Amino acid sequence: MVGAVIVRDGEPIGEGWHAELGGLHAERAALEDCRRRGEDPAGATMYVTLEPCAHHGRQPPCAEAVLGAGVARLVIASEDPSEKASGRGPGMLRDGGVEVELAAGEEAAAARLLNQPFRKHARTGLPLVTLKMAMSMDGRFAAPAGDERWITGERSRELVHRWRAESDAIAVGVGTVLADDPLLTARTPDAARQPTRVVFDRRARLPLDSQLLRTLDQSPLVVIVGPEADAAALRDAGAEVVVAGEIPAALAELGRRGATSLFLEGGPTLVAAFAEAGEIDEARVFVAPVLLGGSERRVGLDEPGDTLIETRFKEW
């Protein structure tokens, strides 16, 4: 996610952002906006959240466009850690006479946090793992047997679906599938894509009549199994099967498949395995205003709504 603003005499004369994969990069979008406004970017300052690229990909190099437009000064909020970038664009611009400045402080930190999945994948080849879980105020994760399924509210569920839509993949353990038979799709009106659904299933116990296998036309399904599992039936049913004995090996394979972000939704056994492996980068924890305790009765509090606690463990 990249944005750019072109400024002259303290006033913006063009702005743009990278709106979609394969579309104009932020710098070229901002230069195009200048042209639409009838403004000349020559001699102006450009602010950009990520260093301009200097290589040919889905779009031509942005460094060339900035040089060609005569921009005099460039302020970059975040470096690009990928091997094909890593300072090449700023170096090209300096050689071309552009004054290049790297931002610091809160602006630089915010720009880095915008692209944590991209940054981690570029540095390690692994997806950024974000844990989502919900709990009661007394630390319980589920209501007693026979009680209602949800312990959080409608707004929290809407937010979870938005997070799913922003993720490359969603992961659960097979225990969650056996208990809930989830779809794991992003059910939001503006979801531009569906994430890949990933089930950690060491012994290949995923039911062949599960919703996940019945909805392969909506989103791919990857099943992570152990070396000893017989997963032929899952393959025949259309699932992609990955053999991995440990969490890091599974993440490496997902990274090789292009996943830069993994949204970890549970259950507790899988979450504990990720935590023990040190593979949780960020946690988003809903605390519902209820006390579940050990009794069969759910106890509600007068306090409305849910509270979201968001904790970043690792910054890439």
**Catalytic positions, written as ranges:** 27
* Rg of the chain (C-alpha set): 23
Both tokens of residue 316? 């890439």
Q: Is the dihedral of CA 110, 113, 114, 120 positive or negative?
A: positive
Residue 21: other Cβ atoms inside 10 A = 8
For residue 316, the one-letter residue type is W
- Residue 177's H or E segment, with its range, is helix 174-180
Q: Could you give the CA distance from residue 261 to residue 283 in angstroms, rounded to a whole number?
A: 13
Closest CA to 168 of 139, 144, 198: 198
Phi, psi angle pair for 196, to nearest 5°: -70, 135
Q: Is the dihedral of CA 195, 286, 125, 50 positive or negative?
A: positive
Query: What's the CA dihedral at 28, 261, 119, 110 to 10 degrees?
Result: 80
Q: Where are the beta strands (DSSP E) in the chain?
A: 3-8, 11-17, 45-48, 73-76, 99-102, 128-136, 169-173, 196-200, 221-225, 240-243, 261-264, 282-288, 290-291, 299-300, 307-312
DSSP symbols for 26-88: HHHHHHHHHHHHT---TT-EEEESSPPP-S-SSS--HHHHHHHHT--EEEESS---STT-TTH
